[in-house]
Amino acid sequence: MSVRRYHVQTFGCQMNVHDSERIEDVLEGAGYEPATDERDADVIVVNTCSVREKAEHKMLSLVGRFRELKEARPELRVVAAGCVAQQEGEKLLKKSDLLDVILGPDNIPELPGILKNIDDGAPRTVRTVFDEISPSFLMATPRSNSVSAFVTVMKGCDERCTYCVVPNTRGPERYRPADDIVEEIKQLVDSGVREITLLGQTVNSWYDPSALDEKPTSKRAPSGSRFALLLRRIAAEVPNLQRLRYTSPHPRHLTQPLIAAHAELSILPRHMHLPVQSGSDGVLRRMSRRYTAEEYLKRVNQLKSAVPGLTLSTDLIVGFPGETEEDFLATLELVRNAGFVSAFAFKYSERPDTPAIAMGDDVTNAEKSERLQRLFEVVGEQQRTHLKSLVGTTTKVLVESESGGRFSGRSERHEIVHVQMKEGENPIGEMVEATIIQAFDHSLLAAGPGVDPATVPSRAPKARTKLPVVGA
């Protein structure tokens, strides 16, 4: 039989990007090879995201495009994976006759077996079972030459924010033992990786499940101190690791020990993405976020004092049920007070089986658009002011890629920096000290070590085709 080929298409968050890497790994482990695109694939996997609107609809219309391919080659298998698959399960088989497999995020290792069974005559299959009893955390083999890699430390979410579908699609929180996490990071660093991003839906609520006394007495109690110990352990035990990031922390688990770890560990970037969602206490309460705007600001101010120059980014929702103009103004005020240098902002949309559905969806789409626009303006302005303020300073850049003779990477504050190096130098995978010479709307231009800034040709900033922050 000739070699079978796969194609994986990914939507959504970094957790999904990482899951797609694992899907590729398990298929390769079973002898599949990557296809050049969907047209020459024997298996197409659509790894779906349902965190925001119309996810199912988007997935089904994408799958609809495969009809011709499937008619030409009936042996083509189409797999729906990820959060929409987990949430909708069996129902998707009825909605599209093109789908052969519906696969939940915890069932990735079973995919080759399921495909084989279907080849042997088994019917279309749904596998969406959470591994609650003995959770597995598959690692993904590092992509060749990749400077950066993800490592999962926990999965699922117990927070149950009232608007969010994730507790349904990713299941209850399960944590990975510290020894396994450290071991995976060591392996990745030995293979050339220099930056690790720890992943989890509320990554800083992590604790070590293999240490019996670690389990918080109440799932509702703020954690964060165990996670700080994990960061310290990784920094101490993996000396060649250059940078350790994590996403996404929950503000209520940003505890004092975690702030202290940020003050002391130079391996942590001087940046935090800390979703706040709203600046109105009433909205935060109805969202069930379990902090007030003041508490959020107090924590981030402590963090900023502990780590000079630290920048913040966030996630925001506009038009949550019952959000008034006054509530929205409180969000704008918080955005200014926290000084976010970037933000992902979204219009509220009802998600299946979430508590907020009972609150209605009373903010009109026009109002949501208008509020989003005002938010973009404030955040965009803060971003431009911040980037301009960096011109003339030096920053450490972890170089990740090259294009047209210019290298790019991220600064210690997570800004995208294009670096001009000396002729013949290739710093990919290295941390270089760069002098910032120009600020664009979303990135920076810098001169690498030993390069005279005056000799670096400046680039005209690209015409702005879209808003400065990502929107819904």
Name the site residues for ligand 5AD (rule: CB under 6 A): 51-52, 163-164, 275, 277, 315, 317, 346, 348-349, 351
- First-to-last CA distance in the chain? 45
Single-letter amino acid code for the residue at 38: E
Cβ neighbors of 417 (< 8 A, separation 6 or more) are 395, 397, 408, 409, 410, 411, 434, 436, 443, 444, 445, 446
Q: How far is the CB of 437 from ligand SF4 (least distance, A)?
A: 38
Q: CB nearer to ligand 5AD: give 45 or 165.
A: 165
Residue in 43, 78, 84, 161 binding ligand SF4, rule: CB under 6 A: 161
Is residue 383 a contact point for ligand SF4 (CB under 6 A)? no
Beta-bridged to residue 419, according to DSSP, are: 407, 446
Q: Which is nearer to ligand SF4, 289 or 396 (CB)?
A: 289
C-alpha angle 17/23/27, rounded to 5°? 150
Decide if residue 372 touches ligand SF4 (CB under 6 A): no
Which of ligand 5AD, ligand SF4, none binds 178 (CB below 5-8 Å, type-dependent)? none
Least gap, CB of 112 to ligand SF4 (angstroms): 29
- The entry of ligand 5AD, ligand SF4, none that residue 159 binds, CB within 5 to 8 Å by partner kind: ligand SF4
SS3 call for 238: coil
Residue 149 or 345: the one with the smaller Cβ distance to ligand 5AD is 345
Per partner kind, with CB cut-offs from 5 to 8 A, the member of ligand 5AD, ligand SF4, none near residue 313 is: none
Taking the C-alpha atoms of residue 322 and residue 162, their distance in angstroms, rounded to an integer, is 13
CA dihedral 174, 180, 186, 192 (to 10 degrees): -50
What separation in angstroms does the CA of 141 have from each of 24, 36, 174, 245? 10, 20, 22, 19
Structure tokens at 249: 């922390």
Query: Where are the alpha helices (H) located in 65-146, listed in sequence order?
Result: 67-72, 82-88, 90-95, 111-119
Residues in CB range of 65: below 8 A, 6 or more apart: none
Q: Is the link from the previous residue into 349 a cis peptide, with omega within 30 of 0?
A: no
Residue 448 phi, psi (nearest 5): -75, 180
Considering only CA atoms, which of 338, 271, 337 is closest in space to residue 309?
A: 271
Of residues 163 and 291, the one with the C-beta less far from ligand 5AD: 163
Q: Which of 382, 387, 228 is nearest to 314 (CA)?
A: 382
Q: Sign (positive/negative) of CA torsion 48, 54, 60, 62? A: negative
Could you tell which of ligand SF4, ligand 5AD, none binds residue 351, using a CB distance below 5 to 8 A set by kind?
A: ligand 5AD
Name which of 204 and 342 has its Cβ closer to ligand SF4: 204
Check binding of 166 to ligand SF4 (CB under 6 A): yes
- Residue 79 within binding range of ligand SF4, rule CB under 6 A: no
Which of 160, 219, 459, 462 binds ligand SF4 (CB under 6 A)? It is 160
Measure the CA–CA gap between 4 and 16, rounded to whole angstroms.
23
Assess contact for 189 and 238: CB atoms under 8 A. Answer: yes
Task: For residue 296, give the 3-state DSSP assignment.
Answer: helix
| Residue 305: closest CA among 250, 260, 255, 337 | 260
Nearer to ligand SF4, 76 or 166 (CB): 166
Looking at beta carbons only, is 290 or 442 nearer to ligand SF4?
A: 290
For ligand SF4, the binding residues in 181-220 under the rule CB under 6 A are 201-202
Which run of H or of E encompasses 388? Answer: helix 365-389
> Applying CB under 6 A, does 164 fall inside the site for ligand SF4?
yes
- Applying the rule CB under 6 A, the residues between 5 and 34 that interact with ligand SF4 are none
- In 94-222, beta strands by DSSP E: 101-103, 125-127, 148-152, 154-155, 174-175, 195-199
Selection from ligand 5AD, ligand SF4, none that 317 binds (CB < 5 to 8 A by kind) is ligand 5AD
Q: Choose, by CB under 6 A, the member of 159, 173, 184, 327 that binds ligand SF4.
A: 159
* Nearest approach, Cβ of residue 161 and ligand SF4 (Å): 3
Q: How far is the CB of 241 from ligand SF4 (least distance, A)?
A: 26
> CB under 5 to 8 A by kind: which of ligand SF4, ligand 5AD, none does 52 bind?
ligand 5AD
Cβ-in-10-Å burial (0-12, 13-18, 19+) of 124 comes to middle
Residue closer to ligand SF4, measured from CB, 166 or 241: 166
Number of residues near ligand SF4 (by CB under 6 A): 10
The one of ligand SF4, ligand 5AD, none whose footprint includes residue 201, by CB under 5 to 8 A per kind, is ligand SF4
The span of 142-150, 154-162, 326-334, 358-366 binding ligand SF4 (CB under 6 A) equals 154-162
CA distances from 273 to 218, 316, 427 (A): 26, 12, 27
Structure tokens at 453: 């800034």
Least distance (Å) between residue 155 CB and ligand 5AD: 15
Site string (224-263) toward ligand SF4, x via CB under 6 A: --------------------------x-------------
Positions touching ligand SF4 (CB under 6 A) are 157, 159-161, 164, 166-167, 201-202, 250
